[in-house]
Structure 1
Amino acid sequence: MNTRDGQEVIQKHRSTGVTATVTIPTGQAYRSAVGWSVLTMDGTGALHVLRTVDGTLTVDTPVTGFPAGARPLLYRTGGSVARLAIVYALDGRTSVGLADLSDGAFRASPGPTPSAKRSWAISSCSATRCSSRAAPRPR
């Protein structure tokens, strides 16, 4: 569970009650939070993943691989605390990709096909976390 208070995001684990506070650096603005990660954007438009170490020190990991000139439109969580879907506009087209919150790597979707390896269905302007188990075949 995440709550915001100015430049701080207070994170609390729902079952254990463990908390951590992420301080958003000056010059960065909050965009989204999922699990123990906070996504921000700086004044140049660069995205950052913020996390705490030992509940106090905020570590800033730049998001790499986000297309140059792209404008984020929507940040979508979906059942995974490891990745965040980002819908973005570039050259008049809308696309979507996944940001890995552990290392900041962004991977654009190659098209409107499900990503079975990562259990995300990505198409047009939406990204949905899917079950990792195969559905039973109809008889």
Structure 2
Amino acid sequence: MLVVVDVANVVGSRPDGWWRDRAGAAGRLLARLARLPGATVAGPDGTPLTCTGVVAVVEGAARDVAAPDGVRVVRAAGSGDDALVAAVAELESPVLVVTADRGLRGRLPERADPAGPGWLLACLDRLDGMIGRTTG
């Protein structure tokens, strides 16, 4: 499943000082998102979900952050919400959209499933914990 991320909304969901360096916080999230394509994680409903790709929508001060390999970055010229809705409209289904913004969720096509930032961050935390581990 393709995962579309409202970067500003996800970054703003953890009070970790992101407001002091919005672009830096967005860049760190994008770097973490690069681990997601190809990974199988527990979906929002608990069933296995294999991520086929990531589209990340950035806006404002984060608009110029570098795009890591494996993440398609959409740079909103104006409203990030408008850019996200337009990006989702162009994508094939199924699509999982990560945002806590209820207004934005209401603007999405019915074929787009919503997920909250907590779900995504928990998945990324688990993937981060797997780095450097060996199996066997």
**Relative to total residues, which structure has the larger helix share, 1 or 2?**
2
The TM-score normalised by the length of structure 1 is 0.24
Which protein, 1 or 2, shows the higher relative CO under an 8 Å CA cutoff with sep ≥ 6?
2
Structure (1 or 2) with the larger CA radius of gyration: 1
The TM-score normalised by the length of structure 2 is 0.24
**Relative to total residues, which structure has the larger strand share, 1 or 2?**
1
